[in-house]
Chains A and B, each alone.
Chain A
Amino acid sequence: EAGVVQSPRYKIIEKKQPVAFWCNPISGHNTLYWYLQNLGQGPELLIRYENEEAVDDSQLPKDRFSAERLKGVDSTLKIQPAELGDSAVYLCASSLGGLQGAHEQFFGPGTRLTVL
């Protein structure tokens, strides 16, 4: 079974440029998460989707970050414009949702963003 797929794996951009990350969750997983992981720290939740609905985006900096999950499957996370402090690894995760397996989250390999 394929795991969570993310692309690109690496991205280098100059500050003030836009950037987008793409995530394909595990087939059948209704819940999708985007996390930010700074060097030497644990992942921090940015946004959580239940199907196509964003149900928790309280940690998403909405002035420059946006996300969408069209049709409740793939998702994209966008930053516009990027700042130096956005350099980090952006992780996507998915889970089954519902009471069964509600907590077990499966992570993708992440996208390492470097803003120059």
Chain B
Amino acid sequence: GENVEQHPSTLSVQEGDSAVIKCTYSDSASNYFPWYKQELGKGPQLIIDIRSNVGEKKDQRIAVTLNKTAKHFSLHITETQPEDSAVYFCAAIRSGSARQLTFGSGTQLTVLP
């Protein structure tokens, strides 16, 4: 099955700096890669996703890049703000009948004011 590794497990940045979280996946057939943000006491919330036919996607201050050859994808947050502090999860899924998301282990991002 799919295996997703995520790092770093914790990340602290100064407000206004950029943050980068990286993930690797094992199943070359995976073709959809979402990123979720989870705040304390809440469920994961989808913030951005990318499909395997695209190399990069951007939405305001967040962007995701995908390298299919190397089987890794990254989340980039620019101009970080204190409200960006949360746990971020990457995930991967292979399209088809078995729509099972495999999640990374999460990154605790802390933005210091």
Q: Which residues of A contact B (CB under 8 A)?
A: 4, 31, 40-45, 48, 55-56, 91, 93, 95, 102-110
Total A-B Cβ pairs within 8 A:
56
How many residues of chain B get a CB closer than 8 Å to chain A's CBs?
25
Question: Complex Cα distance A110/B44, Å?
Answer: 9
- Chain B residues proximal to chain A, CB less than 8 Å: 4, 6, 32, 34, 36, 41-46, 49, 89, 91, 93, 95, 97-101, 103-106
Nearest to A59 among chain B residues (CB) is: B100
A48 touches which one: B42, B89, B100 (CB < 8 A)?
B100
Tell whether A102 pairs with B99 under 8 Å between CB atoms, given A43-B44, A109-B42.
yes
Residue contact A56 to B46, C-beta cutoff 8 Å: no
In the complex, what distance in Å separates the CA atom of A69 from the CA atom of B42? 23
A103 and B34 contact, CB distance less than 8 A: yes
What residues of chain A lie closer than 8 Å to B101, measured between beta carbons?
43, 45, 103, 105
CB pair B103–A103 under 8 Å, yes or no, is no
**Considering the chains assembled together, what is the distance between the CA atoms of A100 and B6 in angstroms?**
28
Beyond A55-B97, A103-B34, A103-B95, list 17 extra A-B contacts (CB 8 Å): A4-B43, A42-B89, A42-B105, A43-B101, A56-B98, A93-B43, A103-B93, A103-B99, A104-B46, A104-B49, A105-B34, A105-B46, A105-B101, A106-B46, A107-B43, A108-B43, A109-B42
